[in-house]
Structure 1
Amino acid sequence: MTMHTGGKEMLLQREQRVVFQGDSVTDTGRDRDDFFGLGNGYPAIVSGTIGSLFPEMRIEFLNRGVGGDRVKDLKNRWKEDCLDLSPDWVSILVGINDCWRLYDSNDRTEPALFESNYRYLLQSAAARGASLIVMEPFYLPVYREMEMWTEDLGPKIQIIRRLAREFKAVYVPLDGIFAEAATKREPSFWAEDGIHPTPEGHSLIARHWLKALGVL
């Protein structure tokens, strides 16, 4: 059954399973002992919104974000925490820690390795028949020293955009979305430390995720 919302076709179908993957921005304190634990961020907002609007569709959401993860960490746990869950959709938001570790630990993730690992995530999920949702990593320069981060993150975002096109993923350009939002309120309103979203920041992510999937 295809649902239409406001003249748009919703991409999600009845009784599908969506797996959210990523780092702490996705993790948001989820209960590891609860198979269906969503945490208190954008995955919970997405699930609650769709469940309230379309309860009859019985769409299932799983959160497997892990705080601190880089792309290589997702790759290491990808089989257990993604492929073995038989998702119909895989939603990925990762990459900020690949940038951050350069500036807080002098631990660089080279672009070629970043691309290779990210490609593995998309390729292996697509090979299992999953549809893909790719979200840009983002940050807001709450502190002056963060202004230089774009030198490392910018090329990685370009890699993600290129891979999203190649794998025909639904794409959510969060870096630009947050940059625009920061023209309306101070950056810390959206992400207190520039990285981890506030409730308003998580709502912003959820709203654009839902728009990209044709829900709103």
Structure 2
Amino acid sequence: MKRLIQTMAFLATGCLLLTFMAMKAKSKKIIFFGDSITQQGAQPGGYVDLISKKLSSPAYEVIGAGVGGNKVYDLYLRLEDDVLNKKPDLVVIYIGVNDVWHKQSSHTGTDLDKFVKFYQALINKIQANGAKVVVCTPAVIGEKKSSANELDAELDKYSAAIRELATKNKLVLCDLRKLFTEYDLQNNPQDLPKGILTTDGVHLNEKGNQTLAATLIPLVK
């Protein structure tokens, strides 16, 4: 009788282990690939963290791969190490703010034609690795309404280019440029340059992270 109980316990443990391994094998790996907005988004309360908590584990494994100051060519240079080698099922690309912003602040931005070429190269390599791609337009550099921020026109050009890439490559688009500008239009009566969805006009505050997480979750599930 004792041996029978031991045998049953051993089999039960084995079944649990096999079940866990099967669940682990089926988990979907999602990588959020971007700049400091994504880097901060992986911190507690950030949009990547919120998405990770919302998606059921172990069905999903969520990874933040953001590095402060990155532009599109920085993403291309670290694509192998930070994304492809991890064998993701889905990659969310959120880049473009620094490509525009740094043209003004430090003269190290990215010209639009080069931005598009690097972005397309990212898409090609990720898809060739077997992963799906979601692309995001850059949200804001300043939250004043009605195109009153200094770099709005440039952001609109880069956002339009990403929309075209999404259409050309038949990708899911998260249009943060449209989402944030429309939100600011309705919720910024004093026409403040920051503090509505961002802390500084660029990086997300609590409401911004919640808004972005809520927008992305249906797209990545």
Under TM normalisation by the shorter chain, which class is it? 0.7 to 0.9
What's the TM-score once normalised by structure 1's chain length? 0.81
Do 2:141 and 2:151's aligned partners in 1 also have CA atoms closer than 8 Å?
A: no
Query: What is the alpha-carbon distance in structure 1 between the residues aligned to residue 30 and residue 143 of structure 2?
Result: 32
Count of aligned pairs between the two proteins? 190
Indicate the structure whose relative CO is greater, using CA pairs within 8 Å and at least 6 residues apart. Answer: 1
Rg larger in structure: 2
Which residue in 2 is equivalent to 1:15? Answer: 27
Do 2:97 and 2:140's aligned partners in 1 also have CA atoms closer than 8 Å?
A: yes
State the secondary structure of the residue aligned to 2:185.
coil
Which residue in 2 is equivalent to 1:211? Answer: 218
Identity value in percent: 28
RMSD, aligned CA: 2.2
Query: What is the alpha-carbon distance in structure 2 between the residues aligned to residue 201 and residue 136 of structure 1?
Result: 15
State the secondary structure of the residue aligned to 1:189.
coil
Structure with the higher helix share, 1 or 2: 2
What's the TM-score once normalised by structure 2's chain length? 0.79
Which residue in 2 is equivalent to 1:130? Answer: 131
Query: What is the alpha-carbon distance in structure 1 between the residues aligned to residue 33 and residue 219 of structure 2?
Result: 17
Which residue in 2 is equivalent to 1:193? Answer: 200
Structure 1: stretches of 5+ with no match in the other structure: 1-13, 30-37
Post-superposition Cα deviations, 1:181-208, rounded to whole Å, max 9, x if no partner, equal 1133235221121100101101100111
Query: What is the alpha-carbon distance in structure 1 between the residues aligned to residue 27 and residue 157 of structure 2?
Result: 37
Aligned partner (choices 47, 53, 59) of residue 52 of structure 2: 47
Query: What is the alpha-carbon distance in structure 2 between the residues aligned to residue 45 and residue 172 of structure 1?
Result: 17
State the secondary structure of the residue aligned to 2:119.
helix
State the secondary structure of the residue aligned to 1:18.
strand
Which residue in 1 is equivalent to 2:8? Answer: none
Q: Does 1:180 align with 2:182?
A: yes
Which residue in 1 is equivalent to 2:114? Answer: 113
1:142 to partner: Cα distance: 4.0
